[in-house]
Amino acid sequence: MASAPSTELLFSYGTLQHPQVQLDTFGRLLDAEDDVLPGYTVDYAEIEDHRVVDLSKQTVHPIVRETGSPLDKVVGKTLRVTADELDAADEYEVALYRRVSVVLASGRRAWAYVSV
């Protein structure tokens, strides 16, 4: 019997929470739990990648920037993804974002896409 693929946590505060984006990017809807990313604030970025705009139906997407201030926080969801799905998320995100490891308010470590 094959073992289930290991899962990673991916913190989403934007379009990766949208069902259509998940279906197109991962081929399924993901399990998600509420969580908070401390020490970051939300900004917005103009997206020029037509594939991403067509899928998300938005030309402006949220993007987070690290402030280091305990007063700043970003509300979002942790998504459970496989390593292959994490690669698919990397393909979806445009060059304005980079994936980093963060610690959430829950104490869990997760990946998050932040401003470059």
pLDDT tens per residue across span 67-86: 999 999 999 999 999 999 99
- Mean pLDDT across 10-27: 96
Least trusted range by pLDDT, from 7-11, 54-58, 70-74, 83-87: 54-58
Confidence at 6, pLDDT banded by 50, 70, 90: confident
Strand, helix or coil for residue 96? coil
- Mean pLDDT across 42-68: 93
**Taking the model in full, what pTM does it have?**
0.89
pLDDT of residue 3: 58
Closest alpha carbon to 5 in 89, 91, 84: 84
CATH number of 7-106+111-115: 3.10.490.10
